[in-house]
Amino acid sequence: MQERRRKRRWVIAAAAGAVVVALGLALFKPWLLFIDVRVDEQLPTVAASTVGSSPSPERTAPSATAKPTSGSPSTAPAGPVQLAEGRLISHEHATTGTVRIVRQPGGSRVLTLENLDTSNGPDVHVWLSAADVVEGTAGWFTAGSAEHYDLGLIKGNQGNQVYAIPDDVDLSRYRSVDLWCVQFSVSFGAAQLSL
């Protein structure tokens, strides 16, 4: 009788342990730490003369109502113009790379992640954030409590990537870019934007 109870307890404990392990694997997806996803999209080429020379992102956006006067030369640049730039720093995971916000000749804006290298993880998104970047563990959670605009899931944890910024997004409201793990509410890495 005693032995039967022990056996039953062992079976229940083993089943409970298996459930805990299965839930842990489904939630944390630890295998992602060993799998790299490289994305190498074509980045807009910004002329050296325009880098860092433009005013605020909103002042440089083309006006829908502005029309060039006849006979006056067009002031629109011939190529992409860099509006902001920042270097990614590490938070929860080692993260490096460059972030740029670029206005295309037609007026559309994109965010680029250049030479990105971070850990792969579940549910990591690219956020424009109103929070300032804070180094160290104190900065791991700052973006979560600030206003943000979600540009979507990260395409890969390495390489070069381009994300469209909708026309109605007011870039003057956002000071940084954050690689935010939505599932665990933590920053993998972030970049303070400078004009």
The model's pLDDT over 10-21, given as tens digits with 9 standing for 90+, comes to 877 776 666 555
Residue 135 in 3-state DSSP? coil
pLDDT at 6: 77
Give the whole-angstrom CA distance, residue 110 versus residue 103.
7
Give the whole-angstrom CA distance, residue 58 versus residue 174.
11
* Domain chopping of the chain, boundaries: 1-34, 36-60+78-192
Q: What phi and psi, each to the nearest 5 degrees, are found at residue 172?
A: -65, -15
Sign, CA torsion 140/27/114/194: negative
Residue type, 76: A
Give the whole-angstrom CA distance, residue 122 versus residue 28.
7
Q: Return contacts of 21-27, CB within 8 angstroms, 24+ apart.
A: 27/183
pTM: 0.72
CA angle at 43 for the pair 162 and 192, rounded to the nearest 5°: 60
The model's pLDDT over 97-152, given as tens digits with 9 standing for 90+, comes to 999 999 999 999 999 999 999 999 889 999 999 999 999 999 999 999 999 999 99
